[in-house]
Structure 1
């Protein structure tokens, strides 16, 4: 499991947006702005989204070899940046969706109810960051 250093942990709890990169069926990158939360206990990034969104479809697709999809989020502010990369999956479990919405509300703002909401969960296995946040 990936652990962030103290500077990185603070940065991913500040109110910033990020970009999410997933791969389309043809292998080309799909990059969109997102809000995300970091779960330091599990090394997981969560993005709430609509089940029919392109990012959800991309994250739910397995590779030709059956490997799980890969995704990354990249947050930038001035000279600070962090990229969190790992395996992606779509979670439809109501308990995890409720937890993700609560985490989102703490970092950003409360969300309106959405019966089509799912969680794009990235289990992070690679972290890159600016020298300002080197461990």
Structure 2
């Protein structure tokens, strides 16, 4: 039986990292101003070396508004993916980044993981999640 386990988000074991490199739709959970969870499907890339997860999105999305509303300290968020009985969650503090080089890097990473490059979007931003916790079931 495989057990649920904690992972160092900066030093995951090979199977955990491999799972995050497979093509899976993920979810992002942010908090609305009233404290209720807002959960949406997203593509996520995981960068353990920088302890970051990245989500590309449109600057006018609700998820961006929720993250920005948290202020400079960032918003507490979680991203998760599931495949049958396997699952993995990354948690941390999210901030919206608009710098062209950060957005381009996030698009490149997305293309590597998901096998397609998103079309041009002048309103694209990246939600960067500074990871504080990781867990999963392999």
1:28 corresponds to: 36
Q: Secondary structure at the match of 2:110?
A: helix
Q: Spell out, residue by residue over 1:59-79, the C-alpha distance to the aligned partner (whole angstroms, 9 max, x if none).
A: 11227xx74211110100011
Within-5 A mapping of 1:29-108? 29-62=37-70, 67-108=73-114
Question: 5+ unaligned residues in a row in structure 2: which ranges?
Answer: 1-8
Question: Is the 8 Å Cα contact of residues 70 and 86 (structure 1) preserved in structure 2?
Answer: yes
Taking the aligned partners of 2:16 and 2:34, their CA distance within structure 1 comes to 33
Preserved contact between residue 53 and residue 128 of structure 2 (Cα < 8 Å): yes
The list of structure 1 runs, each at least 4 consecutive aligned residues, that deviate by more than 6 angstroms after superposition, is none
Superposition TM-score, scaled by structure 2 size: 0.89
SS state at 1:12 partner: helix
CA distance in structure 1 between the partners assigned to 2:40 and 2:105 by the alignment: 23
| C-alpha distance in 1 between matches for 2:33 and 2:130 | 21
Q: Helix, strand or coil: the match of 1:127?
A: strand
CA deviation after TM superposition for structure 1 residue 90, in Å: 0.1
RMSD: 1.3
Contact 1:2 1:126 in 2 (8 A): no
Greater length-normalized contact order (CA 8 Å, ≥ 6 residues apart): 2
Structure 2 CA distance for aligned equivalents of residues 33 and 45 of structure 1: 15
- 5+ residue gaps, structure 1, are none
Aligned residues: 129
Match of 1:111 among 91, 113, 118: 118
